[in-house]
Amino acid sequence: MSFLNPIFLFALVAIGLPLVIHLLNLRKPKRVQFSTLAFFKELQKTTIRKIKIKRLLLLLLRLLAIACLAMVLARPFLPPALSIGASSNQPTVHAILFDNSISMNRIGSKGPLSDQAKELVKEILLASNEKDRFIIQNTNGEPVNASISGANLIERKLNEIKVTQTGAFLSERLNNLLSILEESPFQNKNLYIISDNNPELNYVITNNFQDRLKNVGVTILNVEKVKTQNTFVSEISTSSSMVGKGIPFTLEVAVKNEGEVLAANQFLTLIVEGGTVGQYPLEIEPGVTQSFSFEINPDREGPITGSAIIEGDGFQNDNEYFFSIQIPEKRNVLWVVNESLNPVDVSYTSVILDAQQEGNNQINYSKVNMSEISAINIGNFDALILEGLDEVPEFLFSELQEFVQDGKGLVFFPSETADIQNYNAFLNLFNAGNFVGVLGEFSSFNSIAKGSLLLEDHPVFEGLFERGSDEELNFTVPEVYYYLKLRTNNSGLGLNILELNNGDPLLREKKFGEGRVLIFTIGNDPSWSNFPVKALYAPMYYRTMLYAASLEEGGLNNQMLGSAFEWKGNADPSKTELIYNNESIQVTPQNAGGSILVNYNGYDWEPGWVTITDGNNTYKMSLNLSRSESIFYSESTVDPLVLENINIVDSGALTSEQITNEIRSSGFGKEVWHWFMLAGFLLLIIESLVSIFYKAETVT
278-296 pLDDT per residue, tens: 999 999 999 899 999 999 9
Gap between the Cα atoms of 650 and 658, Å rounded: 11
The more confidently predicted of residues 410 and 211 is 410
Q: Which helix (H) or strand (E) holds 598?
A: strand 595-600
Torsion sign, CA atoms 104, 109, 115, 121? negative
Where does residue 344 fall: left (phi above 0), alpha (psi -120 to 50 degrees), or beta otherwise? alpha
pLDDT grade, residue 612 (50/70/90)?
very high
- At 308, phi and psi to the nearest 5? -105, 125
Among residues 315, 225, 87, 120, the alpha carbon closest in space to that of 652 is found at: 225
pLDDT for the residue 242:
77
Gap between the Cα atoms of 440 and 211, Å rounded: 62
pLDDT for the residue 529:
92
pLDDT for the residue 521:
95
| Segment among 46-50, 81-85, 351-355, 647-651 with least mean pLDDT | 81-85
Mean pLDDT of 590-616: 91
Mean pLDDT of 383-397: 93
> Mutual orientation of helices 113-127 and 656-665 as an angle, nearest 10°?
50
Going by their DSSP bridges, the two strands 289-296 and 275-284 should be labelled as unpaired
Gap between the Cα atoms of 347 and 177, Å rounded: 64
What are the start-end ranges of the H helices in 367-442?
397-405, 420-428
pLDDT for the residue 42:
54
Gap between the Cα atoms of 243 and 647, Å rounded: 52
Question: Is 80 exceeded by the pLDDT of residue 660?
Answer: no
- Which domains are seen in the chain, by residue range? 2-78+675-693 (no CATH), 84-227+634-668 (3.40.50.410), 231-328+555-630 (2.60.40.10), 331-548 (3.40.50.880)
Angle at 68 between CA 65 and CA 69, to 5 degrees: 90
Gap between the Cα atoms of 202 and 636, Å rounded: 7
Gap between the Cα atoms of 196 and 587, Å rounded: 36
DSSP tally for the chain: helices H, then strands E: 14, 36
Question: Is 80 exceeded by the pLDDT of residue 497?
Answer: yes
pLDDT for the residue 43:
54
Classify burial at 547, counting beta carbons within 10 Å of its beta carbon; exposed 0-12, middle 13-18, buried 19 or more. Answer: buried
pLDDT, mean over the chain: 84
Provide the whole-model pTM. Answer: 0.73
pLDDT grade, residue 41 (50/70/90)?
low
What are the start-end ranges of the H helices in 151-249?
151-160, 170-183, 199-208
Gap between the Cα atoms of 571 and 579, Å rounded: 15
List pLDDT tens digits, range 241-262. Answer: 778 777 788 899 999 998 888 9
Question: Is 90 exceeded by the pLDDT of residue 699?
Answer: no
List pLDDT tens digits, range 642-656. Answer: 566 678 888 888 887
Mean pLDDT of 198-206: 83
pLDDT grade, residue 553 (50/70/90)?
very low
Going by their DSSP bridges, the two strands 188-195 and 92-98 should be labelled as parallel
Question: Is 50 exceeded by the pLDDT of residue 84?
Answer: no
Among residues 227, 191, 179, 11, the alpha carbon closest in space to that of 92 is found at: 191
Gap between the Cα atoms of 194 and 115, Å rounded: 11
CB of 269 closer than 8 Å to CB of 290: no
pLDDT for the residue 327:
85
The single-letter DSSP state of residue 571 is -
Torsion sign, CA atoms 429, 434, 439, 445? negative
| Segment among 29-33, 143-147, 258-262, 305-309 with least mean pLDDT | 29-33
Question: Is 50 exceeded by the pLDDT of residue 85?
Answer: no
pLDDT for the residue 483:
95
The single-letter DSSP state of residue 441 is -
Compute CA distances 419 → 437, 451, 508, 620, whole Å.
11, 25, 20, 45
List pLDDT tens digits, range 321-380. Answer: 999 998 887 888 999 998 765 555 666 887 887 776 555 677 888 999 988 888 898 888
Q: What is residue 675's three-state secondary structure? A: helix
pLDDT for the residue 40:
54
Q: What is residue 465's three-state secondary structure? A: coil
pLDDT grade, residue 81 (50/70/90)?
very low
Question: Is 50 exceeded by the pLDDT of residue 138?
Answer: yes
In this prediction, what percent of the chain has a pLDDT beyond 90?
Answer: 44
Q: Whats the size of the chain, residue-wise? A: 700
Gap between the Cα atoms of 112 and 247, Å rounded: 48
List pLDDT tens digits, range 466-491. Answer: 766 667 777 788 899 999 999 988 76
pLDDT for the residue 458:
85
Mean pLDDT of 437-459: 89
pLDDT grade, residue 639 (50/70/90)?
low
